[in-house]
Structure formats: structure tokens, C-alpha cells
Structure 1
């Protein structure tokens, strides 16, 4: 279910380099604009042409409990760097009842843009070190680097629940 920007709170890594721990902070939207993505489901709200251009052959399995979800990763520098860390199991935290996130201890290459819409199943990088798995769809004005998306996010929201969870990422 989409959320309006007025009622949607998002996290922010403070400018001083510290990370917020558990408290929600508002962040200022980036001054950026992207053309509407069209009518169909487009991962990360990018245009169909851009999605086709960026979609690579990287395949990923995301395992949550006893459920496995197939994902495709984009052919971009961020996905190539991130995939080098797989297989990995992450303890992902809950945020805003629409996403799970994990801060890595390392930075990844980032090329953030403002998606028109984030879709359930989108996998994105916030900043240079925060991997985010979205399980609800909504509009946003904040910047993320698209990494990939679940081919079928059906059942994802139920699988992740509303607490911290372990999520395994495996190539193949």
C-alpha cells in the first residue's frame, strides 16, 4: 500500500558520520527530478527503457526463514561490488513498516537518483553503505541507488514481519 509523503517517515544518516540507532529522524529530500516511469511495475520506479538497459544477468536468491525469493540484480557498479560479499546472512532492522535495512561496515559505489516510486521487492542502496529491501510500495523524493528487485514479491511482507530478521543473500 502506498503512503503519502506527508505521513511517511524515512531514516537519515546524520551529516556528522554517526548512524542513528532506533530513533526516526527526518531527512531533507535531494533536489533532483526523474521523469515518470510509466504505468507498469518498474523496479525502483525507473523507466522501462532504463530498466531494460540496466538489467543484467545477475541472479540472486533471498532467503527469509523457510521462504526463498528469486531476484535480478542490475548490471551496475553497485550490484557488482555488493555481489562480491555474497553469500551472506544479514541481521536486517525494521523501518517504517515498509522496509528492512542493514548498514555494512564498508562503502559501495553509489549512483543515487530519485525514483518516482519504490515497489515492494525493490533492493536499493541508501548512501554508500545501507542495503534496503522494501516490502511495501510507496512514492518518495529521496535518493537511492537501484541494486535489483524480487521477480515476484508475493508473500514478502508476511515473510519479513515487523521485527528485526535474518535475511540470506545467495548468488545463483
Structure 2
């Protein structure tokens, strides 16, 4: 969701309660102007928002597709995973690094809460810095700090499917 959509939603959330207070206290009828503004805001929000926003409590379902092979990404319940999911669908040309990971720059920075990973596992999907998405396909020890986005539910054949060199990976989201 882009910044203008977020601003519209925040304005609508802030204005709607005030508009409901515009009812005429004496006879219980509402101000016709408030219903026009409410209708206009509702139409603006729905026309600009093609995907439903993700609430912090909502389970995020994400998928990663490589050469027709689809992997379920079990998302972390954090602001980074939610912000990443809000950018989907997204297809990235991911470069190989150290023969154990693929990485790519995201179009928009994500919120971070990095911590030292110690152990990286095959199938981990993480954020390095605020805008480098990393998919690990081998397990190893690391002293670097990452923000966890999620992990693949079944990463067993990931290294074989990713192969050597660069690869195009599509990330998508399914709505429940």
C-alpha cells in the first residue's frame, strides 16, 4: 500500500467518528453533509486500495515461486513481515552470494528490528539493513544481524531449485 493510500485511510479513520457526532441531538436526524463526506471518503479508499490492508493481528500468508515451484512462507508476526506482505505481489531478480543465499534490493524500505542471527537455516527469509531481502538456501553460522520476515514451511529442495547464479523469484500473498 503506498503512502497516499495510508494517508487517506488515516484521515477516514480520524474523520468518521467526528462525522457520526454531527447528528442533530434534538431529533436524531443526521447531517446530510456528513453522509456525503463519508460516502466520498469510502469511495476514495476503495478505489485506491486494490489490496486489503494487513492488520497486526491478521495471519499473513505468503508464497515464494521459483521456476514454477511454489513454497509457503510462514511469516513472522512482526511489523517487517506485515510491511513486506503489503508490497506483494513482487517479482525480484535475486543474485547469489556466497553460494548459500539469494538477495535483492526491495523497492521500498521496511521497518527493522535486527538481531544477531547466530544460526541461519535453509529456508529463512530475512531483511538485511532496511531494504535488502535475503533468502537463505543453506544452513550456517553467522555473526550478521537480520530482521526475520519468515521461513519456508518445506525448504528441503530449495538449494536444488535455486541452483547456481541469479534467479527470478516471485513473492505473492493469499488472502484468507
TM-score range, shorter chain: 0.5 to 0.7
1:145 aligns with 2:147: yes
- Structure 1, unaligned stretches of length 5 or more? 1-55
Q: CA deviation at 1:60?
A: 1.2
C-alpha distance in 1 between matches for 2:138 and 2:99: 8
Q: Is the 8 A contact 2:118 2:144 kept in 1?
A: no
1:63 aligns with 2:65: yes
Q: What's 1:31 paired with?
A: none
2:93 counterpart (91, 94, 115): 91
C-alpha distance in 2 between matches for 1:57 and 1:163: 33
- Structure 2, unaligned stretches of length 5 or more? 1-57
TM-score in terms of structure 2 length: 0.64
C-alpha distance in 2 between matches for 1:105 and 1:166: 15
TM-score in terms of structure 1 length: 0.66
Q: What's 1:73 paired with?
A: 75
1:101 counterpart (82, 100, 103): 103
After superposition, the CA RMSD in angstroms is 1.4
Q: What's 1:133 paired with?
A: 135
C-alpha distance in 2 between matches for 1:81 and 1:105: 12
Q: Is the 8 A contact 2:126 2:147 kept in 1?
A: yes
Q: Is the 8 A contact 1:120 1:135 kept in 2?
A: yes
Q: What's 2:113 paired with?
A: 111
1:124 counterpart (123, 126, 129): 126
C-alpha distance in 1 between matches for 2:151 and 2:61: 10
Runs of 4+ in structure 1 over 2 Å off: none
CA shift digits 1:69-90 (9 cap, x unpaired): 1111111111111111101111
List aligned pairs for 1:152-171, cutoff 5 A.
152-171=154-173
C-alpha distance in 2 between matches for 1:157 and 1:125: 19
Q: Is the 8 A contact 1:57 1:72 kept in 2?
A: no
Bigger share in helix = 2
C-alpha distance in 1 between matches for 2:151 and 2:65: 14
Q: CA deviation at 1:102?
A: 0.5
Q: How many residue pairs were aligned?
A: 118
